[in-house]
Structures are given as C-alpha cells and as structure tokens.
Structure 1
C-alpha cells in the first residue's frame, strides 16, 4: 500500500483531457466504490482512533497523523450501512475537500484505474434525493459507485451559505441590466448546487442549474440560439470534477464556440489542495475559487460583473 499513491503528484496531466483516475475501495461486502485520486492525499492502514465526546455518530474518532488531528468518518455508517468493524484490517483515505482535511474509514482499498469522464455516468433514475451517489461507472463488468462526498460532509458539518451584510451592501451597485441575466451553475453534487444557488441568489440573481458539463454546454448552446449569450447569461460557475464532461473540458468547449466564447467562467472546486493554476489558464477560465465560502463566491461574482462593465 505504501507505493500505491507514490505518483499521485505526477498524475495531474490527466486534468483537461476529460480523464481521471479512481482509487477503488470497499466498505462492507463486495460492492466497489471510487474516489478521484486527485482528491486523495494519502492512504493508511487504520491507526489508533481516539474517541472524543459529542462527536457526530458517523465519526469513529480522531487520528493523529503527521502532527495533525484528523476526524475519521466511517463511510459505511455515513451512507446508511453498518459500521466497519475490524479496524485492524481497515484503511483510512486521507482526503481534502472544501478546504479541510479528513479521513474516510473504508473496509479495504484495491487499485487505481484510469478512465474517461464520459464513462462516468449520473446515478440511475429512481435512486432518489436521499441517495449518496453522485455518479457510477463500470469496471470489470461490475458497477462502481462514486459517492457524493460533499453531501456526506455537509451532513456531518454543515457549512454556512449566507452572504455577509458587507458583501450584500456592495452588491447594491450591480447594474440592473446585469441582474436581469441568469447565472449558470454547473455541478454534479446536489448539495453543492444548492449551496451555490443560495449564495448567488442572495445577490439577486436568477439561477439556472446543470448537473454536469455536457448538460451545461447544451443549455448554453440552446440559449445562444435566441440571443447573444452575453445578453442572457451574466457568467457561469462550474465545478471541475463532473461525470460525462468535466469543468476543464466544458470551459474549453465554451471558448471554442464563437457564440459562447465571451462568457465569463468561474471554476469552483473542492480540489483546493492540488489545484493546477496553469490548467485553468490553459482552458481559458477567468477565475478560480475553492469551495465553499459564500463571501468569496459572491465576491468573485461581483468581480466578474465589474470586469464586464468597468464603468
């Protein structure tokens, strides 16, 4: 296991090619799950866990790793399953999401696979709003489930979504014509979409939602049939990691389409720890912010509007 992630930092060239690498793992039983290697900092045999009072019921304890105290979330418990029992054989996936580092307790870790985002599909219809799946794919003729980690973390430790009074005060200067336009929010996580929607709606904008890059691109092209896109859409806020089409590829497609190329694009992602600034510049995004801070997001929106109308 020690060498499993030795080359993670060299894998960033996959970003922008609509490809990703999944670290496959199991919880209890045979079902396989996957997490993007780009979000994984380290994989460890489960260390000693310290139990603290008043922890969330899905937090099995805290681990002291490399001078830091990290909460360890039992992914099986968090998704409605039974707890992972034999900790001596379990592993912790150390990951960074939304500016915080946490450990995910799993039953076993398998291998890393290289796959195209087009092979990552939305969850089957009928899974319902209480599902913890954000996507699925197939490996070795078996279904691999990709969990909505942002939803899990939101249930463990909800984040603030209200924009501060100070930012709202500065938003009163937004041009009325800009407010009449919509903001397109593209994210595969329903929790993330709603967080962004709440923050941006506080500024007075109407929001159009898309569940992945392909959906977002199709909506933009449909809108551009009726009028110049700049007359209809103030800007686009897009996640990077999404099934079917990732945010980098979406941005590149927007820049290569004459009817969409002037659209202001903000990339908004939980990949804060390993973010590749050069890649953002390569695909032509205007701005990048790490998830999730409502004031920073609102500030980026106001910055975009000022860039469009410097007067």
Structure 2
C-alpha cells in the first residue's frame, strides 16, 4: 500500500449543560431536527421522553443530559432544543440536546483517551482539543446500555465441537474503546471458553500484534472497532497490512456505524470483513471464516 490510511471525520458539536462541548461523529447522524411533539412511552427509562415520528417510523427520543447524569431539560428548554436522529447499533435513536453548535473536521490521531480517574462510569471515549476548547466524545454504546440494559444481553450461539476447538486453538485479539462493546465481545467468547486478548485502543493493539509475532505466536484473528482515540481501526488495519514482515491476521472491523461508506472504506484499507454491531451469530461466523485464513 502506498498511501497513508488517514481519514478525517466530521464531528457534530453540541451542548448538554453549561458551556461543556460534546461531540458525535456525523456518520452516526441521520438528521438534526427542531424539537417536535413527542408521544409518551409508558414504563420507560426516565431519560426516554417519548417517541418522534421520523420518515414514517416511531423513534425513541432520549434526553441526553438526563441520561449522562445532568439535570433534564425543562419544558421551556426543550422548546429551544434539537433532536439528533442517529443510526447506531442497527437502530434509530433520537437524542435531545440543549444546543447544536457546529460541524468540524477531526483526525482520530488527535483524540486522546479520557483520564482513568474518570472511572468506568464516564460516558466519554475520548477528548479532543479544538482551539483551546476540550470536546468530549460521547460513548453512545454505554449511554444506550444504561437506558436499555437488556441490550447488553447477547444470544448464545451454537457451535460444533470442531468449530469451538478450532477457535480455541487461535490467538484472538479484541480491541474497542467502549467498555460496553468490550464486554459484549468478551461475553460471546467466554461462553464458549475461547481464550483471547483484549485492549481498549489501536496503539496497544499494534504493540500486542508486533510482540506476539516476535514471540512466534502471531495474532490469527483481530476484531477491532473503527472509531477509537489515537490509532483508529482504519489506520490500525493499514499499518498491519503495510508491514510485510508481520504474519497477517484475519481482520474484522466491527463498528456501531451503519454507514455504507464506513464499511466500504474498511475493505479499501485491507480489512477482510466489516460488521455492524452487535450480532453474536454474525461475529462468530466471521471469526470461523477467519479460521480458514489462519489455517
């Protein structure tokens, strides 16, 4: 490969409370709408304020401020707010935000992981400095898991003894900056007693790949998120494919984005497959296809 796999992404900046700026990748966004009449949903999470009609479908709307621990928007504030319609994890979800600011170009290499002091309950996956303003990138997967805890439940998948044994013999690496996604990935393999390594960012993943290759037990299958601080999934894939000395793993890019463009680009940088989160059956079937490559 002769060109660097650097893809800038557009981020929508918005506010939830006070002057703090938050960011969400525009590939997740279908549309931005002014506040509209919502239909109440009985027995729903306190942050779900109703459903909006979007292109003929009923879409749940979450008060994002309330979902992440800020005071919910008042009735008066709602009238001036915006609804961001997103397409993530195979579903359309609306997020009510206090105010939409602007759309900017961002390079994931400039995104830094959140400080560990924030703990695992922080709803951000990274920080980006834009002209002195610190943009917090929201962990939408964690937010949705808090509002819809049942979404964390992954279906068990039947494997034959031969399939299970084949996967157990491989060196598998999982990489995702979202703790929710890491848990979902881990649960699928834990149920089958399949061992694996897991990390939260592309830089560490690349070091593990290089280390294990040097130790003579190279990574056979890599399952990686796309949007990550530092080395994102695209560039991680490019760096692996551009290293002729490295035994090449079967690469599955695994993303909450439903965008055709993101999946197409995954193939361009050398990924074997690109899957939309989260379907345990699809993931294991992709890994089984990877066993043929490893063999």
Please give the range of the TM-score, normalised by the shorter of the 2 chains.
over 0.9
Count of residue correspondences: 289
In structure 2, runs of 5+ residues without a counterpart are none
Indicate the residue corresponding to 1:67 in structure 2.
56
Matches of residues 1-311 of structure 1 in structure 2 within 5 Å?
Answer: 16-85=5-74, 86-157=77-148, 158-159=150-151, 161-164=153-156, 167-170=157-160, 172-174=161-163, 176=165, 178-229=167-218, 233-309=219-295
State the 1:29 CA deviation.
Answer: 1.1
Indicate the residue corresponding to 1:7 in structure 2.
none
State the 1:163 CA deviation.
Answer: 4.3
Question: Matched residue of 2:159: which SS?
Answer: helix
Which 4+ stretches in 1 moved above 6 angstroms?
none
CA distance in 2, matches of 1:169, 1:225: 32
Relative distance call for 1:163 and 1:62 in structure 2 (3 A) is closer
**Aligned CA-pair RMSD:** 1.8
TM-score (norm 2): 0.92
In structure 1, runs of 5+ residues without a counterpart are 1-14
TM-score (norm 1): 0.88
Tell me which moved more, 251-260 or 175-184: 175-184
Contact 2:166 2:291 in 1 (8 A): no
Question: Matched residue of 1:81: which SS?
Answer: coil
Cα-to-partner distance string for 1:160-181 (whole Å, 9 max, x where unaligned): 54443xx4333x1137465133
